[in-house]
Structure 1
Amino acid sequence: MTTIAGQASLEKSLTKSEKKKVIFLICSVLLFSVMNGTMFMIAVPDIALTFSLAPSQVSWVVTGYIVIYAIGALMYGKLADIYPLRTLLTIGLSFFVSGSILGFFAPSFGVVILARVIQAAGASSIVALVFIVPTRYFQEERGKVLGIVSSTMAFASGIGPVIGGFIAGVLNWQFLFLISALVIFAIPFFWIWMPEEKKKEGKVDIFGAGLIAFAVASLMLFITVVNWWFLVSSIGFFGLFAARTRTSENPFIRPDLFRNRPFRTTILAGFFAIMTMFGMMLMLPLMLNEVNHLNTLHIGLTIFPAAMAAAFTGRIAGVLTDKRGSKQVVIIAFVLMVTGFFLLSTFVGSPAWVIGLVVIISYIAFPFIQTGTATLISTSLPKNEIGVGMGIYNLFNFMSGAIGGAVIGKILDYESGVLLNPLSFAQDHAIMYSNVFIGLLLLTVVNGFCFYLTLRNSTV
């Protein structure tokens, strides 16, 4: 395929068939990347049993992965502003496959952790770069393709626990690594189907990258293990990074990036929206287990229809983004979230099939919020900063998910006899679940109101 300098020319050079191949390719590897995270959450108890580990020890299978995943998303996003996407994806997929093979043959828990870290170093390239592909190759259909990408993420999030529980139950948890290793077959197709690009001008501030990496790692560790020394370390590294940014001729992240109001507003709105969504996704399995007394398999089957509904509506979110604008799609997402949280709060304690139907509305909001905010980010930044902008966007999403999970997990340790929703069916400890959903609803209302007021006169 011929090398073409301009993104608009590059898009026009792709035939309809070639565009379909690129979309299929990026969604295929994204499916494995997202599933890899959700499958192992189900397998944590089996890993603990295999190596006779305490919960605090085995949790590093998930914690270590999340920390490296968040850092990698930022790093690959920055590199994408300079280096060709297919080169970065090839490197990332190679790490992902190497970690998967190592994990399958891991003789000890230490090697399992190492394998997960290597996996994350590769898998983070997928989620970071896949969101950049629509902005670079599909300018005229950006919203539609981002909708398909968001649908794939929703589908993978829903099917991951089901597949993970089945494989770990029928075979062994180590076979989950083998499933992830299948992405090796995608690498040649990136060189056959992806457009050829040249390296762009620019340098990466390696020292600045290291400082922000340590700052983010410390912050993520503080969020997940709540050790205050990590917070102190994070503040220190962020301070050093800020100083480096002011003195470097080519900073890793340009300070004026956050002076861009649409970018800043969208990052914050997305942060709180994803925090509430991940909080809901964390609560559902806990609620279905504690209140409805379902096992892991039945929990997965209860949530699965909602994940499928989100997967099918992602394309609608993309089409609406192209036709009506990304701001309206984000507002629709907030309306869906408020409706879904209210219904969940109301029907806590109802039969599982009722919860399975009600949660569909909340899950549908996921592709809408992701498609709308990702499109806003890509349209509010100059082309040479879209990569690092999307990297920051993904980083904030991962941090918000970790914060949401940590905060809600702590809140659910308490009991409450006061029911905030007078229409709710909740009783006993289910009251706390109902109240937390009301809390998510109120946070979403405030978030949506601030988003609307800030960007109502914006032309983005």
Structure 2
Amino acid sequence: MIGFSQALYWIFSVVPFMVISSLQIIEKGSEEVMTSTGQQSAEYNLNESEKKKIIFLMCSVLLFSAMNGTMFMIAIPDIANSFSLSPSQVSWVVTGYIILYAVGALMYGKLADIYPLKILLTVGISFFVAGSLLGFFAPTYLIVILARMIQAAGAASIVALAFIVPTRYFPEERGRVLGIVSSTMAFASGIGPVIGGFVAGALNWQFLFLISALIIFTIPFFRIWMPEEKKKEGKVDILGAFLIAIAVATLILFITAFVWWYIVISICFFSLFAWRIFHSDNPFIHPDLFKNAPYRITIMAGFFGIMTMFGMMFMMPLMLSEVNGLNTLFIGLTLFPGAMAAAYVGKWAGVLTVNRGSKQVVYIAFVLMTLGFFLLSTFTGSSAWVISIVIIISYIAFPFIQTGTASLISIALPSNEIGVGIGIYNLFNLMSGAFGSAIIGKMLDNQSSMAFNVFSVAQGSGIIYSNVFIGLALLTILNGGFFYFAFKKLVI
């Protein structure tokens, strides 16, 4: 049984090991000469062919990275049966992955301000493949957990750098490229359950690891196609990285498990980290970063926006199973049109970001989210094909909220803080997903006989789902109001 002491061992030993090992590998592998200034040493004059190659590569690896999480959520029951595990034990397949994914996204973001992206991606993909191969041959459950954590340590580089690449290499087209990146993530989230259900059902859950290992074939292309960069001045505060890793890990553990001593540990280490950043000559995160009002507002609005989106995605399989009686495969097929729509619409989110501005795209996202949540609340309990159509509106909001907020952050921050700024943005997004899922999970444990939405057709067990959806709509309205009034006097 994996208890508290074992959890602490895996998290507090594996996270720093991955961070420190990555730094050593990068330091040894970086043959570029350090520039004398901390600024960009050269412009990246890429032609259209080179741009397309980089975008294709990033979207390809991002697809594997994002899909990896949702594929394994489908396989949780099969893994539990294979090793005779309880629900709390098997949940570590997801929880352990989320923890390192979130911490790693912050770490790689910080490293991106110093080290070439080509090297960071090579290291990250290597971790991801190593974890995938280990998981495929894993003889015990503890090895499966270790494999997932190594996977996460690598996958985090992909999600972190996918939002940095457009800002660094395509500054004039970052809105359009961010739209493509966001649509890829939305598509991966939707297609993951379909592929996971099919592979786990037709073969075995361990073959999900083998699918992820295919990403190894992208490494030579990254080495050839990614622009050459020079290592910039600066170093990583290892102690600060260690403190924030433990603080974030225990916070996510508290969010997912609601055990009080996790939050006590988290507060202690956040306090130590806060002391560190004010007393270090080279802090892991400079405290002035949060004095940037546009950045701070965007992070907060993005946190609640992504929280509601992930809450919706968490609820949908549960609702379709409990209320509509669908199995894993048909749940995936029901969600698939929404994922396809998000993938298609994402490019338009990028175009609108360029033509109308990032704030307008965020407003559109809030409108789509509110409408989508209201319609889901209204039609909860309807036929699966009706839900499949209705959910399209909610899904297409995903690339809008991600594209708009990521673009705002890239505009608000100076170039030497883009990496760590995007890292914090990704960290908050992943934490919001864990927080939203945990809170909604607790809410769904209750039953309700009164529907808050007077137009709802829900009955029986569907009423609580309808009420939670209407709650998400109201929270989105409040979040949109905060975003509007907070930015009203700011010029972006």
Partner in structure 1 of residue 306 of structure 2: 274
Cα separation, 2, equivalents of 1:18 and 1:103? 35
Corresponding residue number in structure 2 for 1:265: 297
Distance 1:251 1:47 in 2: 41
* TM-aligned CA deviation for residue 457 of structure 1: 3.0
Whole-angstrom CA distance in 2 between matches of 1:297 and 1:324: 40
Q: Which residue of 1 aligns with 2:177?
A: 145
Query: Per-residue CA shift, 1:30-87, capped at 9, x if unaligned?
Result: 0000111110001111111111111111110111000010000000000000000010
Q: Distance in 2 between matches of 1:332 and 1:458?
A: 19
Pair 1:110 & 2:142 matched: yes
Q: 1:388 aligned to 2:413?
A: no
Distance 1:241 1:440 in 2: 33
1:416-431 alignment to 2 at 5 Å?
416-431=448-463
1:448 to 456, 462, 480: 480
Residue number among 143, 149, 152 corresponding to 1:120 in the alignment: 152
Query: How does 1:278-357 map onto structure 2 within 5 Å?
Result: 278-357=310-389
Task: Name 2:287's counterpart in structure 1.
Answer: 255
Partner of 1:206 in structure 2?
238
State the partner residue of 1:14. 46
Query: 1:459, CA displacement in angstroms?
Result: 2.1
* Contact 1:273–1:444 under 8 Å retained in 2: yes
| Shift in Å, 1:429 | 1.8
How far the C-alpha of 1:297 sits from its partner, in A, is: 0.6
Tell me, yes or no, if structure 1 residue 43 matches structure 2 residue 75: yes
User: Is the CA contact 2:41–2:230 (under 8 Å) kept in the aligned structure 1?
Assistant: no
Q: Does 1:397 align with 2:442?
A: no
User: How far apart in 2 are the matches of 1:348 and 1:452?
Assistant: 30
AA paired with 1:393? Y
CA distance in 1, matches of 2:145, 2:447: 35
The residue type paired with residue 224 of structure 1 is: T
Distance 2:321 2:41 in 1: 51
Question: Distance in 1 between the 2:249 and 2:299 partners?
Answer: 19
Q: CA deviation at 1:264?
A: 0.3
Q: Structure 1: how far apart are the matches of 2:301 and 2:429?
A: 10
Q: How do 1:13-92 residues align onto structure 2 when only pairs under 5 Å count?
A: 13-92=45-124
The superposition leaves residues 326-371 of structure 1 with CA deviations (integer Å, 9 ceiling, x where unpaired) of 0000000000000001101111111110011001000000000000
- Residue 456 (structure 1) shift: 2.2
Q: Report the Cα distance in structure 1 between the residues aligned to 2:292 and 2:330, rounded to whole angstroms.
A: 46
Question: Which whole-Å CA distance do the structure 2 matches of 1:146 and 1:9 have between them?
Answer: 22
| Alpha-carbon separation, structure 2, partners of 1:236 and 1:412 | 32
Q: Which amino acid aligns with 2:331?
A: I
Spell out, residue by residue over 1:137-177, the C-alpha distance to the aligned partner (whole angstroms, 9 max, x if none). 00010000000001110111111110111111111111100
1:174 alignment counterpart: 206
Supply the distance in 1 between the matched residues of 2:351 and 2:109 (Cα, whole angstroms). Answer: 25
1-structure distance, mates of 2:315, 2:91: 18
In 2, Cα distance between equivalents of 1:199 and 1:414: 54
Partner secondary structure for residue 195 of structure 1: coil
Given the superposition, is the C-alpha separation of residues 344 and 8 from structure 1 closer, same or farther in structure 2, using an over 3 Å criterion? Answer: farther
RMSD between aligned residues: 1.4
> Is contact 2:105-2:159 (8 Å) kept?
yes
> Could you tell me how far 1:9 is from its partner in structure 2?
5.5
Amino acid at match of 1:333: A
Larger mean Cα displacement after TM superposition, 386-395 or 284-293: 284-293
Aligned length: 458
What is the percent sequence identity of the aligned residues?
73
Q: Deviations over 1:95-130 (max 9, x none)?
A: 000000000000110100010010000000000011
Counterpart secondary structure, 2:43: helix
Whole-angstrom distance in 2 between the partners of 1:255 and 1:8 = 26
**Cα drift, residue 428 of structure 1:** 1.4
State which of 271, 277, 280 in structure 2 corresponds to 1:245.
277
AA of the residue aligned to 1:107: P
Structure 1 unaligned residues grouped into runs of 5+? none
Once the two structures are superposed, residues 244-269 of structure 1 have per-residue CA deviations (whole angstroms, 9 ceiling, x without a partner) of 11110111111111111100000000
Runs of at least 5 residues in structure 2 that lack an aligned partner in the other structure: 1-31
2: CA distance, partners of 1:345 / 1:459? 36
Report the alpha carbon displacement of residue 386 of structure 1 after superposing the two structures with TM: 0.4
Shift of residue 10, structure 1, vs aligned partner: 2.7
Give 1:224 deviation, angstroms.
Answer: 1.3
TM-score between the two structures when normalised by the length of structure 2:
0.92
Q: Report whether the alignment pairs 1:415 with 2:447.
A: yes
Letter in 2 for 1:211: L
Aligned partners of 1:433, 1:8: CA distance in 2, in Å?
A: 53
Inter-partner Cα distance in structure 1 for 2:188 and 2:179: 14
Given the alignment, which residue of 433, 438, 443 partners 2:470? 438
Inter-CA distance 332–7: structure 2 relative to 1 (3 Å threshold): farther
